[in-house]
Amino acid sequence: MSGTDPPPFHRAMVVVAHPDDAEFGSAGTVAKWADEGVEVTYVICTDGGAGSADPSLSREELPPIREREQRAAAAVLGVRRVEFLGHPDGELVADIGLRRELTRLIRRHRPDRLICQNAVRTYSNIYGNHPDHLAAGQAAMEAVYPASRNPHAFPELLAQEGLAPHVVRELWVTGTDAANHYEDISGTVDRKLEALRQHRSQLPAGQDVGTRVRARLAEAGRQIGVAAAESFRRLTSE
């Protein structure tokens, strides 16, 4: 399942639909990479403006709150760059425009490895089927292959912006029920939880995410005999 170690790399990108998605899916892994000197870029596709059950918060008030929370969470993990695309929360579509935006960022930041969300509807639980998650995952996959590496895809990115094609060596997919790689995060669980706690607008009053998240990480960890792990479907360009 975990098997061989992935090849050395220096830059990574995490593409998700909403603020806090990255923390739930891969924060322990990201913290581990950042500690190893990997330069990590977050890309948040929507503004998070629909992410509250509090009727007193308007869709205009919530996005700046969620951006601040996301930047604080990224700082806990050692992520120094966060890109916000600002699409309306709940309305994300994996269209050619979103694919172009992600291709632009891939060519600009040139990650060796990219984490994205699952693009395939599953029936193991309802929460993995948020349409924004599916759209972000689909657009990210399509940007990785074939768009970011193909000089004939979005030629204006090279002609007008000087962004040359780039091959992402590995794609790691979160939220899938077809995992083939488990990353040991036993040493960064506390950082993951601290990052999640930065998303205060998303936490029910008086409740802590720790118990539920630790149980899920422990279950994944049992797959490879460690205390805690995050699961991925790992694809390579080889």
| pLDDT 10s digits, 74-124 | 999 999 999 999 999 999 999 999 999 999 999 999 999 999 999 998 888
Residue 238 predicted with pLDDT over 80 = no
State pTM to two decimals: 0.94
DSSP 137-180: HHHHHHHHTTGGG-TTSSTHHHHHH--------EEEEES-SS--
pLDDT band at 3 (very low <50, low <70, confident <90, very high): very low
The answer to whether residues 128 and 186 touch, using CB atoms and an 8 Å cutoff, is: no
pLDDT band at 208 (very low <50, low <70, confident <90, very high): confident
Q: What is the pLDDT of residues 154-191, one digit of tens each?
A: 999 999 999 999 999 999 999 999 999 999 999 999 99
Burial class (CB in 10 A: 0-12, 13-18, 19+), 199: buried
- Cα(75)–Cα(73) distance, integer angstroms: 5
Residue 206 predicted with pLDDT over 70 = no
Calculate the average pLDDT of the chain: 93
Structural domains in the chain, sorted by start? 11-236 (3.40.50.10320)
The answer to whether residues 17 and 131 touch, using CB atoms and an 8 Å cutoff, is: no
Rounded to 5°, the CA angle 38-40-46 comes to 170
